[in-house]
Structure 1
Amino acid sequence: MLKLDATPASHSLTAPKPMPTTPTPKNPTVRNPGAWRYQSNDRPWLMLAIGLIASASFHVVLLYGFNGPRKVIKVAPVEEVAVVQIAMPDLKEEEPETVQELGEVADETPAMAVPMLADAPSVTVSAFVQPLQYAPDVTSNLQAAKVTQIPVNIARGGRTMQNLGKVFEISQLDRQPSPIAQPAPNFPFQMKQQYTQATVIVEFIVTENGDVVNATAQPSVHRDFEDAAIIGVSKWKFRPGMKSGKRVNTRVRIPINFTVQDEE
């Protein structure tokens, strides 16, 4: 057998010195292939903690560094106000108003005296009862009489008034109307040679003011005297009738007698 000699042979040249080697860490890090250019951090949790602390510090400075101390507003205490209650006095019931009868002055005023005119009937005023009777006696000189002729075209009915309200009959009143002024109706001049007397029944309304309105003549045989009777009655003035202490409208019907006598 051949024996190898392990003793290195001596050379004339000096052997090279070995390269210093880097100490191997106890826990070597295994890198992924291709990641050799960037060295990864071995403690990533430290960087995360530093970032969180920096972010929290920034927000604290931002919130509390630029805001001054809050002003505390003190609320003034509410003072108690004493409430004074005023008791309402007892109200007395209103007494009903007493209605005073108007027109009492007219009671003391006598009826107006109607002047006697030529060819004009005079009316004798007596107690105003239903039916009323007027029998005027006229004495006139037919030749000396100067009476204005009544126009032919006359609006029949005299003065009219609408919306009078309720109209009472004389029998329903507490006090009947009484005449104050009654000018005598004129005897139609053109009828003097044909008639010496005539009678016309006139119906009219005495208002609550004592005026005569809505006068109409009932048809009769003396139609030529109807207009003269209506015109004469429309000029009359009455003291109004009373019902329950109030003036009311009253319907009246009276005959008007025309009489003419010649002077000797």
Structure 2
Amino acid sequence: MNLEDIFATTLFDGQTVFITGGGSGINLGVAQCFARLGANIAICGRTQSKLNDAAAMLETLGAEVVAQAADVRDMDALAEAMATTESQLGPINVLVAGAAGNFTAPTEKLSSNGFRTVIDIDLVGAFNAARAAFEQLRQTRGCLIFISAGQAQAPFEFQAHAGAAKAGVDNLMKTLALEWGPYGIRANSVLPGWIADTEGLKRLAPPGSEHRIADEVPIRRMGDTTDVGALACFLASPLAGYVTGNVVAADGGMMLRGSGIWTQVIGAMLAETDASG
């Protein structure tokens, strides 16, 4: 997709976009889309070297970039990263809360610590980011974009932790749309489908399953990070100025089929692992 043929390349000129988990995967793809449309970008994550590589790439797109290590579970670290962002790039106009963790596990084998870890990164991290950004977003009358998942909409086997976390994220988003709307702050969630060439896909889907997954998507292809980034840019733009409190999917119609393909592909993988173990 050539974003520049669809949106003005000056759409986000002078604006600051802060993205948690922005050093890789879908979140880095979202950052690239905003950078291509004129935004300056702040990214945080847990690994500074990964953030530095991402920052160098974003700078080639013309963006000024702040890349500062911060774990979304640490409110003080997030607040420090956002203060640095404000001092170097200006106040935040768009917050993309995308940091997430996931793995596959039958619930009877899922530890309390494993469950809590995903809740802390996905849900508590989303709250921490929104809360830390509030004053800047109020100043700019900006917007929040949360990265959701299909697990928030339907039960997925082996995903009790991620489903609970992402359902919480979407409810948090809707609550903030209600509470922070009077400040001029909009909040929405983007729900990606199967996105090719991302760490999430590599962690969750067995090698060689991409074609089988793509065949089950109604439009018969997997998505790419630009599919998600373009939707995020639309939701952050004046075109969506009256859109708030919504979960919007960029999934090729995947969720119309529910979680069946997930169960088939991942269930077979886990069965093979158990058999070989």
Point out the structure with the larger helix share: 2
Normalised by the length of structure 1, the TM-score is 0.21
Larger radius of gyration: 1
Looking at both structures, which has the greater relative contact order when contacts are Cα pairs under 8 Å and sequence separation is at least 6? Answer: 1
